[in-house]
Structure 1
Amino acid sequence: MTFCDYREVFFMYQSEGTGRERKGEISQRRKQNEIIIITILAVIMTAVMFANILENPKISDQSANEKEKMEKISNKTKTDGINNKKNKEKRMINKNDWMLVLVNGKHKIKENYDITVTPVGYTQAIDERCYDNLKNMINDCRNAGYNPVICSSYRSHEKQVLLFENKIKDFIGQGYTRKEAKKKAGTVVALPGTSEHEIGLAVDIVDVKYQLLEENQEKTETQKWLMKNCWKYGFILRYPKDKQEITGVIYEPWHYRFVGKENAKMIMKNNLCLEEYLE
């Protein structure tokens, strides 16, 4: 039997023990390195999170700005849609319709323009085609408890010439030269050949208790009713206060023009004057 030398056995176990210790040290170092790496990653992630938090107000501001831009685009789209609708409706207008004859300083009455007027009461007259509408408007206004009076309606060209010349004389009497007086008269009385009264589609209506043709006419209950309801009968307030630069005529809260019910509805609904409606 052969026996091992105890010293070899001890050395063998000692060597084996030393190898295990080295492996343990290596394993421990790996764990330490892993902990360090994990700690570093945790610190980096925490730093990134804090950085994002600090930048959030900017992101919010940017989002708010983007939202505002989108709202502006949306509102512009809606506005364009409304304008397109209006333009579409305008394109359907028949400008040659007798109800929409445009008469002003730039558009004189054609020489061959012909109408048939019918009497309104004892002293007034109007184009026979809008007589019923005018009659119904006046009657309904009276039935509502008010007192409308037609003080002017159809005028012949000769009468318009007389009115215009008289107004020029009034301004000359106030110290204006004839040239100045004629220009100023044109803002109050239409130049002959450019008056809607000559085509029989216009009427001047006042309150029986206040028959002055001035701005205070708008304060009468009769005018308030007419301004609110005239479109239902095909009439419009022809010379509004905020359209003087377009119409070239002073504000006349008594001058009503027949354009037909559908046209009147569109004009009043969109706050237009006749010039804007036909452009």
Structure 2
Amino acid sequence: MAVPAENTPAAPASAPPAIAFEGVTIRFATPSGEIHTVMSEVDLAVEEGTFVALVGPSGCGKSTLLNAAAGLLFPPAGTVRVFGETLTGINPHAAYLFQQDALLPWRTVLDNVCLGLTFRKVPKARAAAEARRWLKRVGLAAFEDRFPHQLSGGMRKRVAIAQAWIVNPRLLLMDEPFGALDVQTRQIMENELLELWQETRKTVLFITHDLEEAIALADRVVVLSTGPARIKGDYAIDLKRPRDVAEIRLDPAFNALYKRIWADLRDEVLKQEEGAHGA
């Protein structure tokens, strides 16, 4: 069972969570025919309008949980609910930002940002106008005719963010979107993400290996155990907003939260290391 997040205000009884994992167990058959359990009886509710970060040892099932929220896989046991409805197909409320950008290399920046609206049969002129508005919002107005290979890593991430936000999703699923960026670019992108989130208050489920990033961005940090994954800890991040991700790291309250959460996470990382050496 999930540990209740401390100091998290209760949502109104009439408002279902944006995402609810109820007793979710995920397993699959290995090539040798054995059954591998990725996670077991995970219970987690993500309230609408909140930013929740998932952390845990490498390979513990974070991305698998995100894929279940996206409707890309279905657990053999347990239920995933989205805004109160059982998820039975691709999640229509979600946009997914992957570790590697999923831009189409043969399309220009403008056409990549238009893609979601094109799939929704939005007229071309209207889609292009909306895409230009988003490119201006993410600082790429002068690059609409470029191709992805002509952009830096940070610029491609901006295109991916515009591509996700343009369809106005209620839910953003983000799988280590900034992990491949250098430190300086990463902090710029984290702050830009926070600015967008502050304006729109989309529900965000964010995966990261970086505990500092999780605390700097999120309202809650959820720690997953080593596999089969369970909820090890659930922490409310009651740091003031708006935040600057560099400055907030200097706050004594940030350091206190880091020490508390790291105590949970460190134990799971050590367990994973011990298991790897013992294999």
TM-score category (smaller protein): under 0.3
- The structure with more radius of gyration: 1
Greater relative contact order (Cα 8 A, min sep 6): structure 1 or 2? 2
TM-score (structure 2 length as normaliser): 0.26
TM-score (structure 1 length as normaliser): 0.26
Q: Which has the higher strand share?
A: 2
